[in-house]
Amino acid sequence: MDFRRKQALLRGNKYNSTKHKVSKIIELSEALCYLSATPRVREGIVTGKTHLGVLEGSLRQASLSRAAARAVAGLAPEDFSVETLPNPGTLPLFNQDVMDAGMPESVSALLLALSRCNALLIVTPEYNWSVPGALKNAFDWVSRVQPGPLADKPVAIWSVSPGLLGGARVHESLRHILHSQDMRIMAKPEVQIAQAQTKIDVAAGRITDAGAEAFLRRQLAFFARFCHSMVAV
């Protein structure tokens, strides 16, 4: 259904048969979802493709979480095109004095990359039961730009850890930050890759555990549907 037809439906066309009414009610529902969607989500509905930005939480080159982030492109369904965003380690510590003197090039590069994305996947370790400092710093920089470049964009989280809990505690801390940016968080299914050293080949950047790989593929497929159907409140 094209955009003009959706608008025409919302103006209240008359229908004759009961069967025709049911069909038009379904189309009307689709039109309401389409027209209430944010522009970026609406673009995804039209093209059937969502540009997914992958944001890493770790700075270490040989980290388990960065290896998992590199694996995303090979696991994602065709609904996604995948881009790894500039690593938070490229950014200076947030300082209003620095910003007042001119936005650092590394921050501008991250903002530009975010502007290309329809959705965000954060792949991160857990540090001291919370969010890694560099990742929090990235959000501190991004939050200073108005209108917010993350507002209304869907987001999912993967936590990665060599421990038994899989970095579970970072999810709650990170959600507080994402809510502050008006992002649309996919709450479930959660991804917590525990004992990740037994499931990830760091050098190759791939998932080696069949069960973990299957679960990650399912979660990404679910996230694709979440992105495709998400509408603005």
Q: pLDDT digit string (tens) for 23-42?
A: 443 343 333 334 334 554 44
Is the pLDDT higher at 212 or at 31?
A: 212
Please name every residue paired with 154 in a beta bridge, in sequence order, or none if there are none.
184
Inform me whether the pLDDT recorded for 151 exceeds 70: yes
What pLDDT band is residue 17 in, cutting at 50, 70 and 90?
very low
Q: What is the mean pLDDT of the chain?
A: 85
Q: What pLDDT is stored for residue 37 in this prediction? A: 45
Q: What pLDDT is stored for residue 230 in this prediction? A: 72
Q: What pLDDT is stored for residue 48 in this prediction? A: 63
Cα-Cα-Cα-Cα torsion 27, 33, 34, 38, nearest 10 degrees, comes to 180
Inform me whether the pLDDT recorded for 101 exceeds 50: yes
Is the pLDDT higher at 45 or at 210?
A: 210
Sign for the pseudo-dihedral over CA of 41, 46, 52, 53: negative
Q: What pLDDT is stored for residue 222 in this prediction? A: 97
- The closest of 29, 7, 43 to 227, measured between CA atoms, is 43
| Domain boundaries of the chain, sorted by first residue | 1-36, 49-229
Q: Give Cα separations from 102 to 91, 149, 174, 203 (angstroms).
A: 14, 18, 28, 38
Inform me whether the pLDDT recorded for 185 exceeds 60: yes
175 burial type by CB count under 10 A (0-12 exposed, 13-18 middle, 19+ buried): middle
Q: What pLDDT is stored for residue 144 in this prediction? A: 95
Beta-sheet pairing, 206-207 with 200-201: antiparallel
CB 170 within 8 A of CB 130: yes
State how far the Cα of 184 lies from the Cα of 153, in Å rounded to an integer.
6
- Beta carbons within 10 angstroms of residue 72's beta carbon: 21
pTM for this predicted structure: 0.80
CATH 3.40.50.300 for domain 49-229, yes or no, is no
Half-sphere exposure of 57 (CA within 13 A, CB side): 25
Inform me whether the pLDDT recorded for 59 exceeds 70: yes
What pLDDT band is residue 5 in, cutting at 50, 70 and 90?
low
State how far the Cα of 25 lies from the Cα of 185, in Å rounded to an integer.
29
